[in-house]
Amino acid sequence: MPASKICVVVVSGSLERMQMAAMVASVGAVSGHEVVVFLSMNALPYFVKGNTSKAPHEGDMGRLMASKKVPEFKTLFEQAVELGDAKIYPCSMAMDVLGIEQDGLESYLQNATGLTKFLHDAQDAQVWTF
Amino acid sequence: MAEKIIVDGRGSFCPGPLMELIVALKSAQVGDVLEVLSTDKGSANDIPEWLNKVGHEYISTTESDGVWHITLRKAK
């Protein structure tokens, strides 16, 4: 079983980028990788409890995906946690800017973390940025 | 040994069928045979790779009428 670690940084709020990030996180996590996800900037609002708004697509692929039975990115992130033991950290700075507390976020997220801890986690990992 | 367990991932896109397989594997017993049905060709290619990587026994893949049947045995 490979022990290599994958860090996924999700900054964009576009459907395609969050979808790809969720695919890397979920498939990585169920394939034996240690997966750490850091959610910040425009990605974080989609993980606020009760936010059901649809992420905007960047291009034709996103539009096509929305019309087909593609697993939703939030479902894939949740499966990464449940099936593959991934850890998903909301960025504390983005939470401060949004004015939300930990209990306002989806329950499968870890406690807020800052860049110092994330950079420490990432120093021996592959880092994927979306 | 139990009957073959069918995992119906038809209509879903990558990595949906793989995730459905993993959910089914959690509740299956070691030695059980599972058959994933997928209409997504990418998943038909990817699932055997995944089985090889994590150490379950890949048995076969067949295709008929646009549906791939990936058969495997839970090894651990």
Give tens-digit pLDDT for A45-97: 999 999 999 999 999 999 999 889 899 999 999 999 999 999 999 999 999 99
State the Cα–Cα distance between residues A121 and B34, nearest whole angstrom: 37
- Chain A residue with CA closest to B52: the answer is A31
- Both structure tokens of A75: 């479902």
For position A1, what pLDDT does the model report?
A: 47
- If we measure between CA atoms, which residue out of B74, B32, B36 comes closest to residue B55? B74
Query: Residue A83 and residue B23: Cβ atoms within 8 Å?
Result: yes
- Chain B residue with CA closest to A24: the answer is B15
- List A10's β-bridge partners, or say none: A39
Tally Cβ neighbours within 10 Å of residue B32: 17
| Nearest CA-CA distance, residue B53 and chain A, Å | 7
pTM of this structure:
0.92
Instruction: Using the CB atoms, write b or e for A81-101: b if 16+ within 10 Å.
Output: bbbbebbbbbbbebbeeeebe
Contacts of A79 in chain B (CB under 8 A): 19, 22
Predicted confidence (pLDDT) at residue A2 exceeds the cutoff of 60? no
State the Cα–Cα distance between residues B7 and B23, nearest whole angstrom: 9
For position A66, what pLDDT does the model report?
A: 85
Query: Residue B22 and residue A27: Cβ atoms within 8 Å?
Result: no
State the Cα–Cα distance between residues B5 and A130, nearest whole angstrom: 37
State the Cα–Cα distance between residues A53 and A38, nearest whole angstrom: 21
Interface residue B21 vs chain A (CB under 8 A): no
| Nearest CA-CA distance, residue B1 and chain A, Å | 25
> pLDDT higher for A2 or A23?
A23
Residue with tokens 């295709």: B63
Contacts of B14 in chain A (CB under 8 A): 23
pLDDT range class, residue B3, cuts 50, 70, 90:
confident
pLDDT range class, residue B67, cuts 50, 70, 90:
very high
List the beta strands (DSSP E) in chain A: 5-10, 34-39, 87-90, 125-129
- Is B75 in the active site? no
Report chain A's mean pLDDT, rounded to a whole number: 95
Give tens-digit pLDDT for B5-58: 999 999 999 999 999 999 999 999 999 999 999 999 999 999 999 999 999 999
